[in-house]
Amino acid sequence: MPVPTRLARGVALALMGASCAAFAQVSPNDSPPDYASAAAAGAVPGTGAPATQLNYTVEVGVEHSSNINYSQYDPISQDLLIPRMFFTFDQVGSTVQAHAIGQIEYRDYLQGDFNNEFRGNLAAALNWVVAPQWLTFAVTENSSVEPVNPLANNAPTNVQQTNVFAAGPSLLLHFSDALRGQVDLRYIDTTASKTKYFDSDRGFGALRLVRDLNATDQLSLNAEAQHVHFQQPSLLPGQFTPDYDSYDLYGRYQSKLAHVQVDASLGWSKYTFGQGEPDQSGSLAKVQLNWLVTPQSTFGLGLTREFTDASEQMVIDPTQVGTNIDTTSITVGGAAVTPQIYLEKRIDANYAYQNARFGITLAPYYRQLEYVGDPLYDQQGPGLTLSFQYKFTPLLTGGFAAAGEHTSYTTLDRRDEFYSYGPFVTEQLTPHWSWQLNLTRNRRDSDSPGLSYAENLVFFTLSYKR
């Protein structure tokens, strides 16, 4: 099934209530919310919201780009008309729980230099309670926009829609009030609209043993196995990976205090490849610390060392879809859409301060990616995002957003620097109507000939929020 069709299907299922994040694979060890009690009370757990709730924002945007094709030598100036919609859907019941969040837009290139297109981000899931306290069935769907060639600029001809679909049962085991187990089985399908050698069928299984240490702390032991089969493998550099089996064994500790939250995992990963490719193995370590420093300020720190691939990076965090105030359109992701496994080493931090009138966020990071089998995309470098906003009046807000990234490609002897910055202003006209204006400067400096560019972007939107 083509990826755009899957995106449309996922949105339709979401709006009909056939999606939920309650048992999403993103956090398999989290204790599930008490949906049955919430359904009886007619509210979403912890929110006081109705059992079924649909919120959406409809926008009409007008964009002018001085260099829509991101060209160093032949920039194309273009005007665009971009109608789009953000939506969230939640449904809570004793048998079916649902959650979806999405962002869809239609890009009309008014001068006709490129074909008009749909783009969308979607995080949706369904949880069906087959037998209360014993058996559930989960379906998740994640769709995003990613580059076709990660070494080229993200011009309109170098983007594609990708999709990660998963479905399967979970068996819940109750040994005592504090000790429980869980067995997960999933079929996973990954597809890309243009990069067909990424398409795969996957079988995933997990066995989890969870111990509640007290009301705030939890310890779990997790054993996971996966078989991956690529539907249309390619032998070209940076594209080939034989079918493989992966195994992960790790312990996980979670603490959720009033002001400090800790999520730490430590274990071992192994990959067994077919066609004579050597096996790979190594340690798995992840730590995430979130600290509520004051009622107005928060601090976060993350450390990661793990084997992963593009499909795992495409599983969208639902809390991040359509939330950036400086977003002018759906952001093209940074994943290299290949079947290859890579070792990621990453450290990132974030700080946020918000009072009644002023807010600021700062998020630096450093990452290193080492691809298994083919080092073509090996890279490393730091990055930083920064934004602040100020309420001039209760209804008028202005601010400034900036991002920068330095990337060094190890085997290509290539260095790229990317910067994006500019002001924005938004005004709430009525409880439902608002407008926003963004002025953005994008710039890339690259050692690779023809890939440096500069773009001036103007984007105006008129929004209606339900």
Q: What is the pLDDT of residue 277?
A: 85
Cβ neighbours of residue 211 closer than 8 Å, sequence gap 6 or more: 178, 179, 218, 219, 220
Write the pLDDT tens digit of every residue in 252-261: 999 999 999 9
Partners of residue 63 on adjacent β-strands? 80, 459
Whether 243 and 274 have beta carbons less than 8 Å apart is answered as: yes
Indicate the residue type of 20. C
Write the pLDDT tens digit of every residue in 127-152: 999 999 999 999 999 999 999 998 99
Q: What is the pLDDT of residue 464?
A: 96
Write the pLDDT tens digit of every residue in 157-200: 999 999 999 999 999 999 999 999 999 999 999 999 999 999 99
**Considering the entire predicted model, what is its pTM?**
0.84
Number of Cβ within 10 Å of residue 358's Cβ equals 13
The three-state secondary structure class of 451 is coil
* Fold of domain 3-465: Maltoporin; Chain A (2.40.170)
**How far apart (Å, rounded) are the C-alpha atoms in residues 18 and 95?**
12
Give yes or no for residue 321 having a pLDDT over 80: no
| Alpha carbon distances (Å) from 448 to 48, 432, 452 | 54, 47, 8
Write the pLDDT tens digit of every residue in 72-104: 999 999 999 999 999 999 888 889 888 899 999
Write the pLDDT tens digit of every residue in 10-62: 555 444 443 333 333 333 333 333 333 333 333 344 444 457 889 999 999 99
What is the percent of the chain where pLDDT is above 90? 71
Q: What is the pLDDT of residue 327?
A: 52
Number of Cβ within 10 Å of residue 46's Cβ equals 9
**How far apart (Å, rounded) are the C-alpha atoms in residues 138 and 117?**
31
| Alpha carbon distances (Å) from 326 to 319, 388, 403, 421 | 16, 10, 11, 10
Can you tell me the mean pLDDT for 362-391?
Answer: 94
- DSSP state letters, 309-361: EHHHHTS--GGGTT--TT--SPPP-----SS-EEEEEEEEEEEEEE-SSEEEE
Can you tell me the mean pLDDT for 299-320?
Answer: 82
